Structure 1
Amino acid sequence: MTDVQDRNVTDDERDEHNERNGSQVDIVPLDAPGMRSPIEAPDFDELIRPVELKRRRPPLPTIIGTIVAVIAVIAVVVALIVLKPFSAVRASDYSTAAQQTSTMAKQYAATSAAVDDAFKFLYAQGVSYDASKEQTLKAQASKLGKSVDAFADLRAAKDPDVLAAYTVYATQAKHFVRLSENLADSAQPLSAMVTACGKTPSGTMYDADFITNYEQYIATCKAAVEPLDDAKAQVVSEFSSTLGRTLDQMTAIINQMKAIGDPSSYSSSSDQGKQLKDLSSQLVDLDTSYGALNTLQEQLRQSRENADPTALLDKLNVAIQQGYQRNGK
């Protein structure tokens, strides 16, 4: 009894202690509502019932970026489907290009003829410089340049082979345009040079005014040549430089003859007489008139021939024809 009483007292004390400290545990019967036996299977409907999760909305920049990306993809697809047919070079485009090359050929021929007309004073006696022809040449050269540039805007230029041939041709054609324009700027001073240097003094070293006439000729010719040193056309500036050196050689010979003295004072068999005769021959050989003019004419012809774009235009026409046969269906 004593042990049981002690245990009961102890239990009562423990219960009282738990009540004071709020740690009493309530025991729920197994048959209470909502409770199931530990060995009872769970309700299947509860297991498969969807769990409602909290919805997370993506950030606004992400949404905008996605929309922009979709629009960009759509734009590319539309460009490929809709615009590609319009970027193709068609038969009519090659025909238009062929018409333009015909125009360029005509403009080149007209420009070349304008060069001949503006520089006729170099080739025909009695023809003088005409300022209006110089202006005509400049205007015609400009037309040629514009016709060459216009080809670049044609649809046929989208053909790689046509574009390659055109690029080479355009480089040469524009070189001819610049040459023509630069020659036009040199027409007036060249005309002045022809007038001043066109006729060397006549007579022999025994004439009293032989030395004086040559000195005057050299001074006049040199004054007309110097402005050509700065000519934009290289063929003209090079000719001016060569002619200037020839005039300097003339001056050196005249000075040697003056240093020896009057030819009439020496016999032709004397050393002084022989020297004067040799120097006089050298002076005559230094042709600054007709011989120099012929040299200039040949140099001009060669320069124009080197700048002639006709052969390259023919290659461009071949590329256009091949493009028409290949793509212009």
Structure 2
Amino acid sequence: MYTKYSKVSASLVDAMATSYSSSSKFTKDDAAKIKTKVKAFDDANTQFTQMKAYQKDEDVKQAFDKYQAKAKKFSTWANNLADTAVPMSEATKACDEAPTASLYDSGFYSEYDTYISECTAALDKLTDSKVSGIPEYAKSLKDYLASASEILKQMQALGDPNTIEYGTDAYDQMYSLINKFYDLQFPYDASTKLSDEFRDAEDNANPSKELNDLTDKLQDIITEQVK
């Protein structure tokens, strides 16, 4: 059981690393592979209930039942994380690099409009995630993008900055909006908070302690038998 748990746990670490990387992609096939490992883990746990030690020894039964409750929690979390890693990977690719066009480039507004639209659409797929912290993370980024989009629309409505005359109301409004746009703070704290929530969720679902307790009970039986 520990070996199968370790395989799932290692796969989840790889999944998160991949989904946060703009140079790689986590696919539905990758998610399916994790779920296959989760099922193998679940099956191994179920098979344990057929063992004589579980059926005959009350201490072992209690230790396993306690472990099984945590193991089921881990399996649910692992499956949810596998499902979430797919849209998270898509969101990372869509949102990772903002346009590099200058305000005075002809494609400035169109590039930002495309970037904001695609990033927002990718984040929308995370709003129903069952993984704690993901919907809030997506909302924080979407709120930031919405604020940026609103400022850009106001800037675009004033016209081409290359032709706005110095000293006019339009000039003052434009550069006030430019400052507002570049002063807009990206919600880096949302990423930090999400990482913290991941760690907490993983710790809460980790069945290692309960599995170690079960192993100790089984070892006690073996020790008694060889005396």
TM-score with structure 1 length normalisation? 0.55
CA contact (8 A) 1:162 1:323 kept: no
Equivalent residue letter for 2:13: D
Q: CA deviation at 1:310?
A: 1.1
In 1, Cα distance between equivalents of 2:135 and 2:174: 39
From the superposition, tell whether residues 316 and 253 of structure 1 become closer, same or farther in structure 2 (CA, over 3 Å).
farther
Q: Determine if the alignment matches structure 1 residue 121 to structure 2 residue 12.
A: no
Measure how far apart 1:139 and its partner are: 0.5
Deviation at 1:196, TM superposition (A): 1.4
**Paired AA for residue 180 in structure 1:** A
Compute the displacement of 1:311 (Å): 1.9
Give the aligned partner of residue 29 of structure 2: 132
Q: TM-score, normalised by structure 2?
A: 0.76
SS at match of 2:26: coil
Which of 156, 163, 182 is residue 281 of structure 1 equivalent to?
182
SS at match of 2:210: helix
Cα deviation for residue 125 of structure 1 reads 5.0
Q: What percent of counterpart residues are identical?
A: 30
Conserved in 2, the CA contact under 8 Å of 1:205 and 1:280?
no
**Can you list the C-alpha shifts for 1:180-234, whole angstroms capped at 9, x where unaligned?**
2122223332222222112112244444443332222111111112122223333
Q: State the AA in 1 paired with 2:177.
A: L
Q: CA contact under 8 A between 1:235 and 1:303: conserved in structure 2? A: no
In the alignment, which of 8, 21, 27 is matched to residue 111 of structure 1? 8
Superposed displacement of residue 128, structure 1: 2.2
* 1:287 Cα offset (Å): 5.6
Contact kept in structure 1, 2:12 and 2:78, CA below 8 Å: yes
1:141 paired with 2:38, answer: yes
Q: State the alpha-carbon separation in 2 of the partners of residues 132 and 177 from structure 1.
A: 18
Q: How many residues align?
A: 221
Q: 1:152 to 1:242 in 2, by over 3 A?
A: farther
Cα distance in 2 for residues equivalent to 1:206 and 1:317: 67
Once structures 1 and 2 are overlaid, which stretch shifts more, 308-317 or 292-301?
A: 292-301
Does residue 203 of structure 2 align to residue 305 of structure 1? yes
Establish whether residue 213 from structure 1 lines up as the match of residue 111 from structure 2: yes
Distance in 1 separating the partners of 2:196 and 2:156: 35
- Give the residue type in structure 1 aligned to 2:12: V
Give, in whole Å, the separation in 1 of the partners of 2:63 and 2:25: 41
Matches within 5 A, 1:46-125: 104-124=1-21
1 CA distance for matches of 2:186 and 2:35? 35
- Give the aligned residue type for 2:152: I
1:159 maps to a residue whose letter is: D
Deviations 1:275-305 (A, max 9, x none): 334312233x3268xx876765665454333
C-alpha change, 1:207 and 1:305, in structure 2 (3 Å) is farther
Q: Distance in 1 between matches of 2:140 and 2:71?
A: 28
Larger of the two Rg values belongs to structure: 1
> Aligned pair 1:252/2:174, yes or no?
no
2:115 and 2:46 mapped to 1: Cα distance?
47
Q: Where does residue 48 of structure 2 map in the other structure?
A: 151
Q: Which residue of 194, 219, 225 maps to 2:92?
A: 194
8 Å Cα contact 2:20/2:89 also seen in 1: no
> With CA pairs under 8 Å and 6+ residues apart, which has the higher RCO, 1 or 2?
2
Q: Partners of 2:226 and 2:25 in 1: how far apart?
A: 53
CA distance in 2, matches of 1:273, 1:257: 6
Unaligned runs of 5+ in 2: none
User: Residue in 1 aligned with 2:216?
Assistant: 318
**Structure 1 CA distance for aligned equivalents of residues 117 and 23 of structure 2:** 24
